[in-house]
Amino acid sequence: MLKKIFYILKPFIPRKLQLILRRKLIVSKLPKYKDIWPILKGSDKKPQHFISWPDKKQFALVLTHDVEHKRGYERVLKLMEIEKKLGFVSSFNFVPERDYKVDKELLHTLRQNGFDYGVHGLYHDGKLFSSESEFLKRAEKINSYLKEWNTTGFRAPAMHHNLDWIGALNIEYDMSTFDTDPFEPQPDGVGTIFPFWVENKRHHKGGYIELPYTLPQDFTPFVLMKETTPRIWIDKLNWIVEHNGMALVNVHPDYIDFENSGKNYEEFNLKIYTEFLKYVKTKYEGKYWNALAVQISEYWKKISVSD
């Protein structure tokens, strides 16, 4: 109910005020959640079927990006080139009906360069899970975009989720959850730093692989908490590496200050992200599997789901 009220009132609250209030709320709650965020003890328990990542890599690294607005869309290729230059690949998630139109040539360019993409909700209005009937109505449109774009990946806006309902989508993997994040609108974490299979009993489609994000998504530490270094990511990454987990992060091109101008109050310096990638590349050279979300899902399905 509180979530519904928030999204009703949200258009009437100035964006800057929203961020100030959210920042105060997070700072006040940090002491309360220090034992479960950003690291949740117990989430490192390995699934019984898991032995190792391909080629015996120590951990999996999955870079993902949600493109929320036109400004983020216009930065997609710029971010792709930065990651490519550093030797990484990632997956971009696009909102089908938003203030930008997804160009199929851009999708083609991403895949030509070894990157990938998925569908990010439908409208990004916070109402996707308002009722099951509304979700199923939108699911028909989402499925049409999945088919049109030739992709099998999905992530819901704002990390809202109902894994049962999501089974109505024609997907191989979903990324609408997290291991632990008490600061999310729907804060029920799945408590694992590994992918897992979701049995689709309701819609009789077999199932799909769930890929939770396991590094805090950028908005919380760098826009709300105003962190100026990738310290939080690095500390959590090192812990994930110790336990051979999956380090999956969600970075929004909308919130990156590519020019280091410092002019936009809801952007963070590109240097934070590039420093993190350089740390991974230097500290763990030869030890990580930088895979696309679809590659992780294919591998996990192969080792965890019997025919």
Q: Is residue 300 part of a domain?
A: yes
CA distance readout (Å), 225 to 220, 248, 253 = 6, 20, 18
Residue among 222, 242, 239 nearest 230 (CA):
222
CB 236 within 8 A of CB 44: no
118 phi and psi angles, rounded to 5 deg: -145, -175
Q: Is residue 11 part of a domain?
A: no
pTM of the model: 0.94
Q: Is residue 155 part of a domain?
A: yes
Ordered DSSP codes for 47-90: PTT----GGG-SEEEEEEEEE-SHHHHTTHHHHHHHHHHHT--E
Number of domains in the chain: 1
Q: Is residue 79 part of a domain?
A: yes
**Biggest alpha carbon distance in the chain?**
54
Kind and range of the H or E element at 166?
A: helix 163-166
Q: Is residue 40 part of a domain?
A: no
Name the token pair of 3.
Answer: 């979530």
Q: Is residue 34 part of a domain?
A: no
Q: Is residue 260 part of a domain?
A: yes
Q: What is the pLDDT of residue 6?
A: 58
pLDDT string in tens for the chain (307-residue length): 555 555 566 677 788 888 888 888 888 889 999 999 999 999 999 999 999 999 999 999 999 999 999 999 999 999 999 999 999 999 999 999 999 999 999 999 999 999 999 999 999 988 999 999 999 999 999 999 999 999 999 999 999 999 999 999 999 999 999 999 999 989 999 999 999 999 987 765 689 999 999 999 999 999 999 999 999 999 999 999 999 999 999 999 999 999 989 888 899 999 999 999 999 999 999 999 999 999 999 999 999 986 4
Q: Is residue 135 part of a domain?
A: yes
CATH number of domain containing 250: 3.20.20.370
The whole-angstrom separation of Cα 97 and Cα 145 is: 10
CB 231 within 8 A of CB 276: no
The whole-angstrom separation of Cα 253 and Cα 77 is: 10
**Which residues form the domain of 245?**
61-304
Q: What is the pLDDT of residue 5?
A: 58
Name the token pair of 285.
Answer: 């050279």
- Residue at token pair 């983020």: 72
